[in-house]
Amino acid sequence: MTTIYSISDIHGFYDSMLDTLSLVDLNSNKDNKLIFLGDYIDRGKDSCRVLYYIKELEEKYPNQVIVLLGNHEEMFIDWFTLNDKLNWFSQEVNFLTVKSFFSRDEFMDIIKNTKNNGESYSEVSYYMIKEIRKRHSKLQDWLVNKEKQDPFYETDNQIYVHAGIFEKDQFLWKYATQPDEFTWKYPAETGAFYKDIIAGHVSTVNVSNDSKYLGKVFWDGYSHFYIDGETERSGIVPLLKYDTFTGAYSSYTKRMDGSWVEYQITKRRV
Contact in structure between 189 and 226 (CB atoms under 8 Å): no
Query: Counting Cβ atoms within 10 Å, is residue 216 exposed (0-12), middle (13-18) or buried (19+)?
Result: buried
The model's pLDDT over 53-74, given as tens digits with 9 standing for 90+, comes to 999 999 999 999 999 999 999 9
Q: Kindly tell me if the per-residue pLDDT of 82 is higher than 90.
A: no
Question: What would the pLDDT profile of 221-247 be if each residue is shown by its tens digit?
Answer: 999 999 999 999 999 999 999 999 999
Over range 203-218, report the average pLDDT.
97
Torsion of CA 204, 208, 212, 213, to 10 degrees: -20
- The dihedral through the CA atoms of 194, 196, 197, 203 has a sign that is positive
Q: For residues 147-166, b (16+ Cβ closer than 10 Å) or e, as one string?
A: eeeebbbeeeebbbbbbbbb
pLDDT of residue 85: 62
Q: Give me the residue spans of the domains in the chain.
A: 3-68+149-265, 87-145
CB 245 within 8 A of CB 1: yes
pLDDT tier at 116, thresholds 50, 70, 90 = low
CATH topology of domain 3-68+149-265: Purple Acid Phosphatase; chain A, domain 2 (3.60.21)
- Cβ atoms of residues 182 and 152 within 8 Å: yes
Edge-to-edge, what's the strand order for the sheet holding 158-161? 152-154, 158-161, 196-203, 224-228, 218-219
**81 CB burial (10 A radius; 0-12, 13-18, 19+):** middle
Q: For residues 185 and 201, what is the distance between their CA atoms, to the nearest angstrom?
A: 8
- Report yes or no: 182 and 166 within 8 Å, Cβ to Cβ: no
